Amino acid sequence: MSISADARVPISAKCVNREEPFPHPIAWDDIETVILDMDGTLLDLHFDHKVWNCLLPERFALAFDCSIAEAKLEIANQLDASRGTLAWYCLDHWTERLGVDVAALEKELSHLVKPRPGAIGFLKLLEKAGHRLVLATNAHPSSMQRKFDITGIDNYFHIIGCSHHYGACKEERAFWSAFSEDLAIEPSAAMLIDDNHAVLGAAREFGIDYLYGVCYPNTLGPRVTSTEFPCIDMFSDLFG
């Protein structure tokens, strides 16, 4: 789950303002493993936005006889209290806490699940180039599988890592330690693309050198910029 308002070049984790020209070229030969996020990176975050920021408040308001504004405030307060923890990404947790079947809401809006522009072509290029492709997602396992069934993106990955299987979300160093050891990933030869800048920060602290954000996680949402990490408009940005 992601709720927002939540391929490659050698720049060794230095801070780059995305408003400046994109840094080129990437030394692809130095990168062994490409780690990709799912929601907001490969898949359009518009789906998650509609589920969590639109449909959920509507159903919560109906269930508890309150206004949409009151529902949004209550949901936001509860989400904020768990932000940056594994519970924040757990559908079962929120179904119990909010009294609304969140998995059912995802199924209802599943027609909105789709790859971001250029995502499939990017995966095919990486696959053809022989890079080791790893998916690292905070998505709840049932939500992850639902999106796999719809988009087929799982077929491009050598390994799929879900934070729920490691007992820590990607914002935590514990995830990267367990994840990298389990999958034998050399951090200095790994690239990570993720729309969550807290995740990029945790990965940087762990030692991953090649870090990129995403300018439009939600293709219909506002542009995201960073003074810490270069953010890509399109995956083709990474190829000069």
pLDDT attached to residue 240: 64
How many residues does the structure list for the chain? Answer: 240
User: How would residue 26 be classed by pLDDT, with cut points 50, 70 and 90?
Assistant: confident
What average pLDDT does the segment 73-99 reach? 95
Which residues neighbour 214 within 8 Å (Cβ) at sequence distance 6 or greater?
40, 41, 116, 193, 194, 195, 224, 231, 232
pLDDT attached to residue 27: 86
DSSP state of 118: T
User: How would residue 25 be classed by pLDDT, with cut points 50, 70 and 90?
Assistant: confident
Lowest mean pLDDT of 6-20, 103-117, 205-219, name the range: 6-20
pLDDT of residue 88 exceeding 60 = yes
Where exactly are the structural domains of the chain? 28-44+114-239, 46-111
Query: What gap in Å lies between CA 144 and CA 75, rounded to an integer?
Result: 22
> Are 200 and 224 contacting, i.e. CB atoms less than 8 angstroms apart?
no
Query: What is the model's pTM?
Result: 0.89
Alpha carbons within 13 angstroms on the beta-carbon side of residue 47 total 28
pLDDT attached to residue 17: 36
pLDDT attached to residue 9: 27
pLDDT attached to residue 239: 82
Mean pLDDT of the chain: 89
Q: At what angle do helices 197-206 and 173-183 cross, to 10 degrees?
A: 60
Query: What gap in Å lies between CA 147 and CA 61, rounded to an integer?
Result: 27
pLDDT attached to residue 24: 58
pLDDT attached to residue 223: 96
**Alpha helix positions (H), the chain:** 46-49, 56-64, 68-82, 91-98, 102-108, 119-129, 141-151, 163-166, 173-183, 197-206
CATH architecture of 28-44+114-239: 3-Layer(aba) Sandwich (3.40)
Q: 6, 30, 65, 182: which is the annotated catalytic residue?
A: 30
| CA-wise closest residue to 32 among 128, 124, 132, 123 | 132
Which residues neighbour 184 within 8 Å (Cβ) at sequence distance 6 or greater?
none
pLDDT of residue 5 exceeding 70 = no
Query: What gap in Å lies between CA 38 and CA 120, rounded to an integer?
Result: 12
User: How would residue 10 be classed by pLDDT, with cut points 50, 70 and 90?
Assistant: very low
Question: What are the phi and psi torsion angles at 167 (to 5°)?
Answer: 75, 15
- Is 30 catalytic? The answer is yes
